[in-house]
């Protein structure tokens, strides 16, 4: 059995850890509230603009904008959104595991990665993947400009034929206790499966365009891309804070549990020591009486 | 009068106007109006005033531009901003207008005429919308 001093030290250490995890939980909870509001406000706009695009895609001439070109996928880009920091449960591990699974279906030379967030960047560089873009250290002052900058790089690579197909992988915020890794094709734009269920979209048919199909497509498509990446960043940010809040909440609880087990052990050890001491005194006294 | 469903969506809010009978938007090639049973259409919108007529009220909103989609019995307006008269701060608009006019008048070396004109147009739209509700 561990000595009293050892147990006391362990209890103290765990109490300190608990203070840290509890503080991190509070910080994450405060940030979560803010990022969740931002994310939810932007969500309706992102969904609507996607709906509009889904209605539009069957009705337009794809040759109007090169961002709509279908090409033989020689070079494939993956945009992976992770966090800058750890201690948020399976948040980063999940997305990295799912991405690695996806990447196994492709030749390494054909794959280029754009990593958003330090965790993903560090992992994929270490694994020797071709990382052509990295965006780190901006989560604290996340702004629409970040999304626009990322989209600018992706569209440039796509238009210069350096990438022929681009996927976007991020954690979607389902609710406070659940995040889900989603993979969506970013370029070229395609009809999403969810919308095929929506029967209206196929039957809309002809559209009238004002001022012209060309102008609508040229302004709507880039707008759509920016909004989708922006939404992915907001979702990931909210999901990260939620994951961290839960992970730190669980850690704080585990610490409480450990403290109570150790306290019990400590009390037992102390009782045993007292009993032992008493026995020694009593038997010492008896020995004196006999003598 | 037959009606259609109108929704105005911005990156920060969704304004559900419910069933309306007429909406007038600032198209990039001039204003246009939409009534029920319009053909499917996509419009590019520039900065200007959106007028909404429903059974119970006629309201105006100031916008910076975006898109409008007409499908079946539904009109979706996706814009950067949409402000009701009550949300417009007249003092700020007047100041913005003054600054923009000054920029054009001074013709500084790095003045972007197109941008200044946009600011003026935006400010004037907001003034017009705000005034409609004062009468």
Contacts of A198 (CB under 8 A, 6+ apart): A54
Sign of CA dihedral A26, A30, A31, A37: positive
Which one of B63, B69, B79 would you mutate to disrupt binding with A, by most A Cβ within 10 Å of its Cβ?
B69
Please judge whether B44 and A200 are an interchain contact, meaning their C-beta atoms are less than 8 angstroms apart: no
Contacts of A199 in chain B (CB under 8 A): none
User: DSSP assignment of chain A, as one string?
Assistant: ---HHHHHHHHHHHHHHHHHHHHHHHHHHHHHHHHHHHHHHHHHHHHHHHHHHHHHGGGS-GGG-GGG-----SSEEEEEE--S---STTHHHHHHHHHHHHHTTS-GGGEEEEEESHHHHHHHHHTT--EEEEE-S-GGG--HHHHHHHHHHHHHHHHTTS-SEEEEEEEEEEETTEEEEEEEEEES----HHHHH-HHHHH----EEES-HHHHHHHHHHHHHHHHHHHHHHHHHHHHHHHHHHHHHHHHHHHHHHHHHHHHHHHHHHHHHHHHHHHHHHHHHHHHHH-
Q: Is the pLDDT of residue A255 over 70?
A: yes
In what helix (H) or strand (E) does residue B124 lie, and over which residues does it extend? helix B113-132
Of A196-200, A229-233, B92-96, which gets the smallest average pLDDT?
A196-200
Contacts of A200 in chain B (CB under 8 A): 71-72
Q: Which of A213, A186, A206, A232 is nearest to A77 (CA)?
A: A186
Query: A99 and A132 share a domain?
Result: yes
Of A12-21, A243-252, A268-277, B9-18, which gets the smallest average pLDDT?
B9-18
Q: How many helices (H) and strands (E) does chain B have?
A: 2, 10
Query: A157 and A267 share a domain?
Result: no
Average pLDDT over residues A266-280: 94
Q: Is the pLDDT of residue B29 over 90?
A: no
Indicate the burial class of B36 (C-beta count within 10 angstroms; 0-12, 13-18, 19 or more): middle
Of A170-184, A187-201, B49-63, which gets the smallest average pLDDT?
A187-201
* B36-51 residue pLDDT tens: 989 999 999 998 999 9
ipTM of the complex: 0.81
Query: A234 and A268 share a domain?
Result: no
Structure tokens at A103: 């990447």
Query: A255 and A229 share a domain?
Result: no
If you average pLDDT over every residue of chain B, what do you get?
88
Percentage of residues in chain A with pLDDT exceeding 90? Answer: 70
* A53-102 residue pLDDT tens: 888 888 888 888 888 888 888 999 999 999 999 999 889 999 999 999 99
Query: A99 and A78 share a domain?
Result: yes
How confident is residue A198, by pLDDT bands cut at 50, 70 and 90? Answer: low
Query: A8 and A107 share a domain?
Result: no
Contact in structure between B9 and B78 (CB atoms under 8 Å)? yes
pLDDT computed for residue B44 by the predictor: 92
Q: Is the pLDDT of residue B78 over 90?
A: yes
Please judge whether B40 and A208 are an interchain contact, meaning their C-beta atoms are less than 8 angstroms apart: yes
* A7-18 residue pLDDT tens: 999 999 999 999
Query: A168 and A108 share a domain?
Result: yes
pLDDT computed for residue A285 by the predictor: 92
What per-residue string of b and e applies to B44-83 under the rule 16 or more CB within 10 Å gives b?
bbbbbbbbbbbeeeebbbbbbbbbbbbbeeebbbbbebbb
* CATH (domain of A35): 3.40.1380.10
Q: Is the pLDDT of residue A204 over 80?
A: no
- Mind telling me how many Å the CA of B31 is from chain A's nearest CA? 11
Structure tokens at B2: 């037959």
Query: A44 and A17 share a domain?
Result: no
CA distances to A65, A169, A194, A229, B34 from A222, rounded to whole Å, are 10, 19, 22, 11, 26
- By annotation, the residues of A acting in catalysis are 88
User: What's the structural domain count of chain A?
Assistant: 2
Q: Is the pLDDT of residue A103 over 90?
A: yes
User: Residue A227 and residue A34: Cα distance in Å, rounded?
Assistant: 19
pLDDT computed for residue A153 by the predictor: 95
Percentage of residues in chain B with pLDDT exceeding 90? Answer: 35
* B86-114 residue pLDDT tens: 888 888 888 988 888 888 888 777 777 88
* A111-155 residue pLDDT tens: 999 999 999 999 999 999 999 999 999 998 898 899 999 999 999
Query: A153 and A108 share a domain?
Result: yes
Structure tokens at A183: 């993979």
- The three-class DSSP label of residue B123 is helix
How confident is residue A284, by pLDDT bands cut at 50, 70 and 90? Answer: very high
Domain hosting A164: range is 28-246
User: Residue A38 and residue A234: Cα distance in Å, rounded?
Assistant: 7
Please judge whether A227 and B11 are an interchain contact, meaning their C-beta atoms are less than 8 angstroms apart: yes
Query: A128 and A81 share a domain?
Result: yes
User: Residue B63 and residue B48: Cα distance in Å, rounded?
Assistant: 6
Q: How far is CA A87 from the centre of its chain?
A: 12
* A17-60 residue pLDDT tens: 999 999 999 999 999 999 999 899 899 899 999 988 888 888 88
Query: A67 and A196 share a domain?
Result: yes
| C-alpha radius of gyration, chain B, whole number | 16
Contacts of B15 in chain A (CB under 8 A): none
Contacts of A55 (CB under 8 A, 6+ apart): A201, A204, A207, B69, B71
Chain A residues at the B interface, defined by Cβ less than 8 Å, are: 41-42, 44-45, 48-49, 51-52, 55-56, 200, 204-211, 215-216, 219-220, 223, 227
Q: Is the pLDDT of residue A1 over 80?
A: no
CB pairs A-B closer than 8 Å: 69
For A52, the closest of B10, B29, B78 (CB atoms) is B78
Q: Provide the β-strand partners of residue B51.
A: B24, B60
User: DSSP assignment of A117-164, as one string?
Assistant: SHHHHHHHHHTT--EEEEE-S-GGG--HHHHHHHHHHHHHHHHTTS-S
- Mind telling me how many Å the CA of B127 is from chain A's nearest CA? 26
pLDDT computed for residue A9 by the predictor: 94
**CA nearest to A209 within chain B:** B42
If you average pLDDT over every residue of chain A, what do you get?
90
pLDDT computed for residue A46 by the predictor: 92
Query: A10 and A95 share a domain?
Result: no
Contact in structure between A178 and B7 (CB atoms under 8 Å)? no
* CATH (domain of A257): 1.10.287.80
For A216, the closest of B32, B39, B44 (CB atoms) is B44
Please judge whether A45 and B67 are an interchain contact, meaning their C-beta atoms are less than 8 angstroms apart: no
Please tell me what DSSP assigns to residue B131.
Answer: H
Please judge whether A52 and B76 are an interchain contact, meaning their C-beta atoms are less than 8 angstroms apart: yes
Which domains are assigned to chain B?
Answer: 4-84 (2.60.15.10), 89-132 (1.20.5)
Contact in structure between A234 and A39 (CB atoms under 8 Å)? yes
Three-class SS of B82-118: EEEHHHCCHHHHHHHHHHHHHHHHHCCCCCCHHHHHH
For B78, the closest of A42, A45, A209 (CB atoms) is A45
């Amino acid at each position: 059995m561990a000595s009293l001093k050892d147990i006391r030290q362990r209890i103290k250490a765990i109490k300190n850890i608990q203070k840290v995890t509890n503080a991190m939980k509070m910080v994450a909870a405060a940030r979560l509230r803010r990022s969740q509001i931002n994310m939810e406000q932007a969500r309706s706009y992102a969904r609507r603009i996607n709906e509009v695009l889904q209605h539009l895609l069957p009705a337009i001439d794809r040759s109007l904008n090169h961002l709509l070109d279908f090409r033989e996928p020689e070079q494939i880009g993956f945009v992976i959104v992770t966090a800058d920091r750890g201690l948020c449960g399976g948040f980063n591990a999940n997305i990295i595991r799912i991405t690695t699974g996806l990447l196994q279906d492709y030749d390494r030379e054909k794959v280029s990665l754009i990593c958003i967030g330090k965790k993903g960047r560090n992992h994929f560089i270490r694994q020797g993947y071709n990382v052509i873009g990295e965006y780190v250290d901006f989560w604290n002052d996340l702004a629409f400009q970040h999304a626009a900058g990322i989209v600018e790089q992706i569209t440039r690579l796509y238009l210069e034929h350096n990438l022929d197909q681009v996927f976007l992988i991020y954690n979607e915020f389902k609710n406070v206790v659940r995040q889900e890794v989603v993979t969506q094709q970013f370029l070229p734009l395609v009809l999403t499966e969810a919308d095929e269920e929506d029967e209206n979209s196929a039957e809309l048919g002809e559209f009238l365009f004002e001022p012209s199909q060309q102008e609508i497509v040229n302004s709507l498509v880039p707008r759509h891309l920016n909004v989708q990446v922006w939404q992915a960043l907001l979702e990931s940010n909210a999901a990260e804070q939620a994951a961290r809040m839960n992970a730190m909440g669980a850690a704080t609880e585990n610490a409480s549990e450990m403290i109570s087990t150790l306290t019990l052990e400590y009390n037992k050890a102390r009782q045993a020591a007292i009993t032992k001491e008493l026995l020694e005194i009593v038997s010492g006294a008896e020995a004196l009486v006999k003598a | 009068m037959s009606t259609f469903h109108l929704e105005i969506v911005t990156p920060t809010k969704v304004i559900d106007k419910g069933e309306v009978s007429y909406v007038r938007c600032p198209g990039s090639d001039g204003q246009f109006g939409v009534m029920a049973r319009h053909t499917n259409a996509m419009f590019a919108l520039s900065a200007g005033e959106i007028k909404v007529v429903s059974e119970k009220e006629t309201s105006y909103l100031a916008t910076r531009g975006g898109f409008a989609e007409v499908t079946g019995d539904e009109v979706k307006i996706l814009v950067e901003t949409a402000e009701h008269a009550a949300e417009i701060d007249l003092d700020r608009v007047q100041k913005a207008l003054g600054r923009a006019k000054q920029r054009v008048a001074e013709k500084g070396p790095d003045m972007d005429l197109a941008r200044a004109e946009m600011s003026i147009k935006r400010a004037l739209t907001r003034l017009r919308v705000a005034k409609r509700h004062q009468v």
